[in-house]
Structure 1
Amino acid sequence: MLQLRKKIQEEKGSATLEFIMVMPYYLFFMLLLWQAVASGITIMQAQSAVNEAAKIYAVTKNEFEAKEVAENIIGHSDIMTFEQFHVPPHSGKEFTAEVKLKHGLVFVPKEWRNVASVELTHSASGRVIE
């Protein structure tokens, strides 16, 4: 009985046990950090795409050319997928261009990214140059 009590009070291996208990929290934090960086890059790239597409539309007034520019800037990746570029009908020279894309979660397997994704819409306003 005395030996059992001594073994229970012994602290050998407690650091390893504490590390094993805390490790899932660190891994979860790293996944969240990774997702935050990927989301930030996606948002910046989407805004850049809609800005450039709006510039092209302002000069050419051609929605197809502007869509191609937006699609090329967004590119093809696992994290973001181009959905649509649209310039709603407008009166006068003012217009608003919209880019829609899907942003998948980084830590989700590729097969599930279509289901586990967020739809983002970015817009830019401008004036047609004539």
Structure 2
Amino acid sequence: MKKLKSEEGSATIEFIGIVPLAIILLAIMIQFIVSVNGVIVAQSAANEYAKVYSVTENHDQATSAAQEVLNSTGSYLSGSISGPNQINKEFSTTVNAQIKLIFLPDEILGHGVPTINFSTKANSRVIE
């Protein structure tokens, strides 16, 4: 009976119970930060396309500049750039991006890693 009332080691058991929850919370926070960064980079790519196209009116140069911005993040962000949708001197471009969930590798899932899909748009005017 005396051993059952002893509380020695209870802190260790509580710690072991909390560690997985803390790791999961940390992974969620890191994925949130990566996702916010991906959204900011995608908007920067759309803005870069608009900046280059407004000066050069060359779709290939603008797409190359925007793709360079998208590629700066590494492998977790991919996307496609469409545009320009031009009316007179006004135009818009759209970046469709996919953010990979970084803590879910292919080995665990057995198929492709899930992605968060979103699009962002930039509007501008051709400079003469």
Instruction: Confirm whether residue 75 of structure 1 aligns to residue 74 of structure 2.
Output: no
Shift of 1:123: 0.9
> Which aligned runs of 4 or more in structure 1 are off by greater than 3 angstroms?
110-115
Contiguous gaps of at least 5 residues in structure 2: none
The structure 2 residue matched to 1:62, chosen from 50, 58, 61, is: 58
RMSD after superposition: 1.8
User: What amino acid maps onto 1:80 in structure 2?
Assistant: L
| 8 A contact 1:78–1:110 mirrored in 2 | no
The structure 2 residue matched to 1:120, chosen from 111, 118, 127, is: 118
| 8 A contact 2:105–2:113 mirrored in 1 | no
Shift of 1:56: 0.7
Corresponding residue for residue 25 of structure 1: 21
Shift of 1:117: 0.5
Tell me the TM-score normalized by structure 2.
0.88
Larger-gyration structure (1/2) = 1
How many equivalent residue pairs? 125
Inter-partner Cα distance in structure 1 for 2:71 and 2:113: 20
| 8 A contact 2:106–2:113 mirrored in 1 | no
% identical aligned pairs: 34
Secondary structure at the counterpart of residue 49 of structure 1: helix
Corresponding residue for residue 40 of structure 1: 36
Tell me the TM-score normalized by structure 1.
0.87
Shift of 1:108: 1.1
User: What amino acid maps onto 2:46 in structure 1?
Assistant: V
